[in-house]
């Protein structure tokens, strides 16, 4: 069981592709909760200074954008659902 105060270890076969997507999504969702902002480009630019090649393909980059957009779009769906109940 995970605790909010302990580090999370994430690893895929090369440590930059799927790991990079997970880290990008996790950090941007946390940033959204705290600051109300998402900036995938700037995060990946920053993170690549520590881990070259993070989010290693255009498809992975697009997936991060799509997943975060779907998450944000779900707010409207659930808000409308609550009004119907």
Q: Which two tokens stand for residue 51?
A: 């881990």
- Residue 12 covered by a domain: no
Which whole number is the average pLDDT over 6-19?
77
- Residue 5 covered by a domain: no
- Residue 13 covered by a domain: no
Q: What is the pLDDT of residues 15-51, one digit of tens each?
A: 778 888 999 999 999 999 899 899 999 999 999 999 8
Please provide the average confidence, as pLDDT, over all residues in the chain.
Answer: 83
Res 83: pLDDT = 52
- Residue 29 covered by a domain: yes
| Segments forming the whole domain that contains residue 30 | 18-84
- Residue 8 covered by a domain: no
Total of domains in the chain = 1
DSSP letters, 15-79, are SSSHHHHHHHHHHHHHHHHHHS---HHHHHHHHTTTSTTSS-SHHHHHHHHHHHHHHHHHHHHHH
pTM: 0.75
């Amino acid at each position: 069981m995970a605790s909010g105060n302990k580090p999370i270890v994430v690893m895929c076969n090369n440590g930059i592709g799927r790991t990079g997507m997970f880290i990008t999504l996790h950090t941007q969702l946390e940033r959204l909760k705290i600051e109300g902002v998402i900036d995938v480009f700037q995060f990946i630019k920053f993170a690549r200074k520590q881990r070259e090649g993070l989010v290693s393909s255009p498809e992975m980059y697009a997936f991060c954008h799509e997943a975060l957009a779907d998450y944000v779009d779900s707010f409207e769906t659930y808000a409308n659902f609550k009004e119907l109940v």
